Amino acid sequence: MMTRWTQTLGGWTLGILVALALMSCASYPRWHVIDDFEASPTLQGWTNIDAQNETVPYIPNPQISKIYAAEGNRYMLRKPAANGVVGNRKALGFKALPKPIPFGSQATLYARFNVEAFPNNQSFGLSGSPPSDIPVLAYDAFEPMIRVTDKAESDGTRNNGTLMVSTGHKSYARIQTPLTGEDAAPLTPDRWYEVWAVIDNAAAEQGGQSFDLFMKGGEFETQTQVFAGAAFWLRNEAALTHFIAISNTGPTNAPYGNGGVRYDDLYLSDGRNLTMPKR
């Protein structure tokens, strides 16, 4: 027979468990799907444009943006062109976010990505530009940018395949290994990585127009902060509205290479959210 004390204790226990469950649910904002590529085999909602197609001989629509399936999972492969084709300088793809990130707010972008091969030159991130302007602006449509590349820069600097972040207009930095303060190891082709970009879309004078990057995969066996204070590309101080990716073969007289990047599980959350979206 349940005593009054047992009944009271049971009621308190149940109340505490319910409260903890509610606190757990309230602790982290909800993840919103940008695309997990499971329900859109034709890349529904994506705009793919070759904004600077200088292929010789001319090949219309040379970029590869295609859904593939492996081990019961679908993902998107993006390449500037098929191997051996050069001159597609701005192979663009973009899709509207499930909800804008208003100016003055914070949000978190989650993505899984996998480098098909090097050499490679591809960037992804978020844009606040109108869709009609993105093909014209190309790289200048970016705000927070994450970059996969091993190409040589115009100043002769050679990148090595370590993941990079934007630190301003036409400025990048390699992610770091926190324990050593040294550059992280180059990305390994055919391996999946996870990234969380915690985005501060406040005014620049308030420390915004910036993002911190967390990563899991490769040398980072657990989620690790690999860069603090990365900067938006232009710092336009406007709402962010689109996910964007650009790949580039390089010019015909000095090609970079056509390695692709596989994307999966693109999600967005309000605020700072370092949990994993449920897939």
- The structure tokens listed for 251 are 């010019």
Mean pLDDT for 101-117 is 98
Q: Is the peptide bond before 41 cis (omega within 30 degrees of 0)?
A: no
Report pLDDT digits (tens) over 92-102.
999 999 999 99
| Beta strands 171-174; 220-231: pairing state | unpaired
Which residues are within 8 A (CB) of 229 and not within 5 positions of it... i.e. 6 or more apart?
210, 212
Query: Residue 130 has which token pair?
Result: 């109108």
Burial-class residue 73 by CB neighbours within 10 Å (0-12, 13-18, 19+). Answer: middle
Residue type for position 112: R
Q: Is the pLDDT of residue 126 over 50?
A: yes
Quick one: what percent of the chain has pLDDT higher than 90?
84
Q: How far is CA 273 from the centre of its chain?
A: 14
Query: Is the pLDDT at 9 greater than 50, yes or no?
Result: no
pLDDT classification of 42: cutoffs 50, 70, 90:
confident
Q: For residue 153, name the pLDDT band (cuts at 50, 70, 90).
A: confident
Chain mean position to CA 276 = 14
Q: Which helix (H) or strand (E) holds 125?
A: strand 121-127
Per-residue pLDDT at 39: 85
Q: How far apart are the first and last CA of the chain?
A: 45
What is the length of the chain? 279
Please state the CATH superfamily assignment of the domain spanning residues 30-270 in this structure: Exo-inulinase; domain 1 (2.60.120.560)
Residue 1 — pLDDT band, cuts 50, 70, 90? very low
Confidence at residue 20, expressed as pLDDT on a 0 to 100 scale: 41
Q: What is the DSSP letter of 152?
A: B
Rounded distance, CA 191 to CA 69, Å? 16
Per-residue pLDDT, 158: 87
| Residue 154 confidence (pLDDT) | 77
Residue 27 pLDDT grade (very low, low, confident, very high; cuts 50, 70, 90):
low
Q: Provide the b/e sequence for 202-223 (b: ≥16 CB within 10 Å).
A: beeeeebbbbbbbbbbeebeeb
> Average pLDDT in the 61-82 region?
96
Average pLDDT over residues 172-191: 97
pLDDT at residue 51, rounded to an integer: 97
Per-residue pLDDT, 236: 97
Of 24, 22, 27, the closest CA to residue 272 belongs to: 27
pLDDT for residue 19 is more than 70: no
Which residues, listed in sequence order, are joined to residue 270 by a DSSP beta bridge? 107
pLDDT of residue 155 exceeding 50, the answer is yes
**Among 26-30, 77-81, 210-214, 237-241, which stretch is predicted with the lowest mean pLDDT?**
26-30
pLDDT at position 170: 95
Asked whether the predicted pLDDT for residue 12 surpasses 80, the reply is no
